[in-house]
A and B are shown apart, each in its own frame.
Chain A
Amino acid sequence: MRITNGMIYRNFLNNLFRINEHLEEDYEKIASGKRIKRPSDDPLGMARSIRYRSYLSTIRQYKRNIEMAISWQNLTESALNAVENALQRIQEIAISQASDTANANTRKNAAKEIENIKKHILGIVNTKFGNRYIFAGYITDKQPFSESDNNYHGDEGLIKIRINSTTQLSFNIPGSVFAPADGINIFQMIDNLKDAMENNEPENIRACLDEIKQALDQVINAQASLGTKMNLFEEIKVQLANMDLDFTGIISNTEDADLAKVTIDLGIYQTVYQATLTATAKAIPINLFNYLG
């Protein structure tokens, strides 16, 4: 084949452009640390990376949901413990005042203490997390219990969060646990006990002992089911943290440049670039005219 000067120049330029393109690509990869800078670098990889990034962000969101729910539950747990302690104190008082060693005077004093404990419990069951009453079901903007009556003013609403795309878990306990329709209304029970104390009626005090025990059981059951749920939440949180790590790794594998490989490639292309320049610089100026007198 006849090789003309035009062909030599053109091929030289094409080669230089091509090598430069590779160099530019490698520089870009090293500078950004990313293998995929635009969709056309790897359309499927880009689509995958969009999906993975969205999964990752969702997983982190679920983790955040769980963490917020856990703080709510921690507060709920403390509140239930406090109610339990208060009921135990009431139980102690009732037992001691039911005995024959007690008299009208001690019972009157006990009635005062019981009234104070009721106020204390009312304070606890009206606890707020942020702006929300934690024992009010959905109606978190209204105090669930008041001193004027012993009724529950909230509802049975269970506030749920998403922990994956198909599962929702509730994290609150409606205040009806303190005044269930088919159980002991703690506040009514306390009022009854207080009346019995004030009126110095040991029979009625003894009758209350059974109700106190039931009320304690109600609270303890609520604590138990809350504890189970909290364990579940903690477990899910650990799972989500693991998934977070996994997906961060997968995204990095999809998007990130293999710097060792890119650096080696870059070295190769730099060498090729220099060799091409040297060879061309030697070849191009030479033709027969250089040697003709």
Chain B
Amino acid sequence: MISSIINIALSGLRAAQIALNEISNNIANAENPKYCRRSPVFRENSPIRYSSLLVGQGVKVTDIKREYNKFFAIQWQEELGLLGDYEVKKQVLGQIETIFNEADGGLSNALTEFWSAWEDLSYDPTSMANRETLINKTQVLIENFHQIAERLHQLHKEINGEIEATIADINKLTQQIAGLNKDIKEAGADVDSLYDERDSLIRELSEKVDITVFEEDKEVKFFLDGCPLVEGNKAFELKVNGDQIVWNSDAEIDITSRIKKGELGAYLRLKNEIIPEYIEKLDNLAYHLVNKVNEQHKQGYGLDNSHNISFFIDLSSPEGAARDIELNSDILDSPNKIAASSAPDEPSNNENALAILGLKDTSISELNDTTFEEFYSCLIAKVGSDAEDASSFFEQQKLLVDEIRDKYDSISGVSLDEEAVNLLKFQYMYDASARLISVADEMIKTLINLGA
């Protein structure tokens, strides 16, 4: 019996040591974001039958449990896809807003001044100063079109670079995860730190692209809308192929349209839909402005009786119009060619200038029956509300993710208070177990001294 007391005390000492070891590990990793709290699982040793009694035989630690709730982990990982999506959109659309720079005047102001210059010209078409002013204001307007278009195209190019970089990140992550799948399977025992690492990589990947994760037999595999990215220890690469994202198994499959969320999804939407839409609208505005003004301008006569001359250089299609819009060099060289008059040899005839001014308030059927100014203010409202949506969706999504993360942390996170309590608890357990040994020691001494 006494020797079994020593054994029991020893089992308690060992168990307390293991527990204290895990507590110190928890404390050491308290600020490690990947870390899942560990706790020892105790089991009573099988009791021994002693005559009619079952006598306890102490304790052992059967497992170090990784405190982990799979449901919260999956929820967290799934919501990250939208978080990455909105974060990228918020950032890029914020940039686009500054490109339009409406608060400080911008294109709408230049357009208003362009019409104003026509008004002044209509009052006195014979004034060279009015003609020069119109040319200047037109060039400011053109410069505004050029700058916005140029910077949108530049941003479009930069996003191509971001897509390449994101794909490279994704490929690196899938390879690392496939490697961890292999390590975990080969390690045999549960290797908690590898699980932590793999979970963290999966979360990182989820922010970049929308994936569905399955776990079976210690391995994770996941799919991007049906295409496996990782299966066991094999990672499937993605590749940029021109405008397409291809899934790089043997047959290069175009999966561009299947990527809907994550940073990659956001970049693709920006590149293929949002920015082209802005550019298209800006181009349409420039094209129809050029067309309508030219059409009317050709009807008129300049001070030098020039006739049938375009005010802007004629454009053949709306594509690229905002970049290509230019003043006709004939007009630039000779402002007298600005056709304010509806007949030759009538210097103060301003009928044609008035007709061009009429365009200002005309609803243009090609621009959804809006005036030039309304069309542009709608575009600004669209840019603004896209940016506002992205920003408020991002804030909402961040709150949601934080909430899920709090739930996840309430199970997996380290609480220093709790560890302090456990520290005391297991320290006392250790002390008491040690004390048991000295009690047993004294009992043995008593027994030995019986015969003396």
Interface residues of A (CB under 8 A from B): 1-7, 10-11, 14, 34, 36-44, 46-48, 50-51, 53-54, 57-58, 61-62, 64-65, 68-69, 130-132, 136-141, 155, 157, 159-162, 165-166, 168, 172, 287-289, 292
Given contacts A1-B410, A5-B416, contact A139 B348 (CB under 8 A): yes
By Cβ-Cβ distance, the 5 closest A-B pairs, closest first, are A39-B384, A4-B413, A43-B384, A288-B420, A138-B346
Given contacts A34-B103, A50-B373, A162-B119, contact A157 B346 (CB under 8 A): yes
Contact A157 B415 (CB under 8 A): no
Given contacts A2-B410, A54-B112, A159-B350, contact A44 B126 (CB under 8 A): no
Contact B102 A46 (CB under 8 A): yes
Given contacts A40-B385, A43-B381, A139-B348, contact A288 B100 (CB under 8 A): no
Contact A2 B126 (CB under 8 A): no
Chain B hits for A36, CB < 8 A: 103
Contact A39 B127 (CB under 8 A): no
Contact B381 A39 (CB under 8 A): yes
Which partner residue on chain B sits nearest A66 by CB separation?
B123
Contact A2 B122 (CB under 8 A): no
Within 8 A of A (CB), among B164-192: none
B378 an interface residue at 8 Å Cβ cutoff?
Answer: yes
Which partner residue on chain A sits nearest B385 by CB separation?
A43
Q: Roughly how many angstroms separate A279 CA and B424 CA in the complex, as a whole number?
A: 28
Which partner residue on chain B sits nearest A288 by CB separation?
B420
Q: Roughly how many angstroms separate A34 CA and B111 CA in the complex, as a whole number?
A: 22
Q: Roughly how many angstroms separate A43 CA and B123 CA in the complex, as a whole number?
A: 36
Please choose the segment from B225-233, B354-362, B429-437 that sits at the chain A interface, where 4 or more of its residues have CB less than 8 A away.
Answer: B354-362
Within 8 A of A (CB), among B391-430: 391, 402, 405-407, 409-411, 413-418, 420-421, 423-424
Q: Roughly how many angstroms separate A46 CA and B378 CA in the complex, as a whole number?
A: 10
B277 an interface residue at 8 Å Cβ cutoff?
Answer: no
Among B109, B115, B116, B384, the most chain A Cβ lie within 10 Å of the Cβ of: B384
B30 an interface residue at 8 Å Cβ cutoff?
Answer: yes
**C-beta contact mask, B341-371 vs A, less than 8 Å → 1, else 0?**
1010111111100100100110000000000
Which partner residue on chain A sits nearest B423 by CB separation?
A292
Which partner residue on chain A sits nearest B360 by CB separation?
A165
CB distance from B367 to the nearest CB of A (A): 15
CB distance from A5 to the nearest CB of B (A): 5
Q: Roughly how many angstroms separate A288 CA and B30 CA in the complex, as a whole number?
A: 15
Contact B126 A68 (CB under 8 A): no
CB distance from A252 to the nearest CB of B (A): 15
